[in-house]
């Protein structure tokens, strides 16, 4: 059975930075999706739905990519 190598010395601060970057990119794309939905004459509820869904999808995608690269 193989053992998992120990994390690098700055692992916790690097992981926190990656989480913050993922959340900020999720917020940015969610905002862009909400603005785009409003420009395409969606209702406020529809724009909020698109923005929230985009935020969740992008953030989870980035978390998964970070997990796979680790």
Going residue by residue through the chain (70 aa), what tens digit of pLDDT does each one get?
Answer: 678 776 666 677 888 899 999 999 999 999 999 999 999 999 999 999 999 999 999 999 999 998 998 7
Cα–Cα distances in angstroms (integers) from residue 57 to residues 19, 26, 69, 70, in the given order: 14, 8, 18, 20
Does residue 15 fall inside a structural domain?
no
Q: Domain count of the chain?
A: 1
Contact 1, 26 (CB under 8 A): no
Contact 55, 29 (CB under 8 A): yes
Which domain covers residue 55, as residue numbers? 43-69
**pLDDT at site 1:** 64
* Paired tokens of 43: 């209702």
pTM of the complete model: 0.78
Does residue 63 fall inside a structural domain?
yes
Q: What is the DSSP letter of 2?
A: P
């Amino acid at each position: 059975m193989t053992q998992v190598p120990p994390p690098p010395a700055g692992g916790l601060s690097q992981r926190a930075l990656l989480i913050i970057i993922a959340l900020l990119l999720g917020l940015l794309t969610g905002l862009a999706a909400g603005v785009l939905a409003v420009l395409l004459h969606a209702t406020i509820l529809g724009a909020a739905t698109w923005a929230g869904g985009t935020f969740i999808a992008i953030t989870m995608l980035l978390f998964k990519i970070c997990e796979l690269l680790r």
